[in-house]
Structure 1
C-alpha cells in the first residue's frame, strides 16, 4: 500500500563514497544491474567507517542519485556514502557528490532491506504516474538510511 509523501525543503550538503553509472532498464536485469553490487562493496569494504563523516552523531548512510542524462529512462550516477563536511580531504577511491538545495518529496519505508527500498521506489514511480502535474527536477535525489530497516527517499521536485 502506497503512503503519501510529505514535502520538505533541504539545504545543500555533500556525500562521499563509491559510485556507479547505470539506468533503470539495466537495474531490471540481474545480469546488468549495478546498484546491488555497489552497496555490497560499500558495506563489505567498510566505507562507512573510512570516510570523514560529518560528525560522530551522524551515522546515516546515503544513496545519492545524480548526473541524470535526461529523466527516469536515461543514465544516472548512484553514490553510496556518508554526509561529509566541506571541504573534505579526498579519500582514495571515493567520489564526492553535492546534493542540491531545494524542494523534495519524501517517501518513507520501513521493513526488511532491500525489499523495503524496492517497494518505496515503486511508490515513487506510482506517485508520479498518478500526479503528472508534479514535476521531478532530475538534479539530485537521495535515499537516507536511519537504521537497518528504515529508509526515506527524497525526490527533488520543481517549485
Structure 2
C-alpha cells in the first residue's frame, strides 16, 4: 500500500445504497446482483482506454453505516438505463492493490483495507468521503481509500 495524490474526476454509472453488514452475508448481499445489473445495462469501451470503477460515497457514518456505491466508468459508450454520476474528490488516498480472479481479488483488497484500519499500527485516518475501486485489468484491482 502507498499514499497517492488523486486528482478529482467524474464517474458515470448505476447506484446502489447498502451497508457492509448486508454485504458480508451471501444471502443478503446486493453488490453481486448490482454487478450483473451494471454489466447487462452499460457498455464500456475498454479498447479506447476506458476503465471500470466502483465509487463508494455518501457515507452515513463509518464502516458500519450505509453508503452509496456507483459502478460504472469514466467513459460509458452506451446505457440501457438512466445514469447517475459522482465526483471522486481530489486529495490523498491510501492505495491497496490485489491481483487474481474476480471477485476474490476485490474481496482480498477490502480485507487488506479493513485489516489495516483496525490494526494498532494504523498511521492513517479514513475520511469517509469518496473511496473507489479501479479495475485496471481483468485480474487487477486497486482500492483507494480517502484520507483525512
| Alignment TM-score, normalising by the size of structure 2 | 0.90
Residue equivalent to 2:2: 6
Equivalent position to 1:120, from 100, 109, 128: 109
Instruction: Provide the alpha-carbon RMSD of the alignment.
Output: 2.1
CA distance in 2, matches of 1:111, 1:84: 24
Corresponding residue for residue 64 of structure 2: 73
Q: CA deviation at 1:34?
A: 1.1
Provide runs of 4+ in structure 1 moved above 3 Å.
Answer: none
Higher strand share: 2
Change (3 A) 1:8 1:91: farther
8 Å contact kept, 2:7–2:91: yes
1:143 alignment counterpart: 133
Number of aligned pairs? 145
Distance in 2 separating the partners of 1:65 and 1:91: 23
Structure 1 gaps, min length 5: none
Query: What's 1:156 paired with?
Result: 146
Q: Deviations over 1:10-33 (max 9, x none)?
A: 011110001100000000122321
> Structure 1 length normalisation: TM-score?
0.84
SS at 1:15 equivalent: strand
Q: Distance in 2 between matches of 1:75 and 1:133?
A: 25
Where structure 2 has 5 or more consecutive residues not aligned to the other structure, the ranges are none
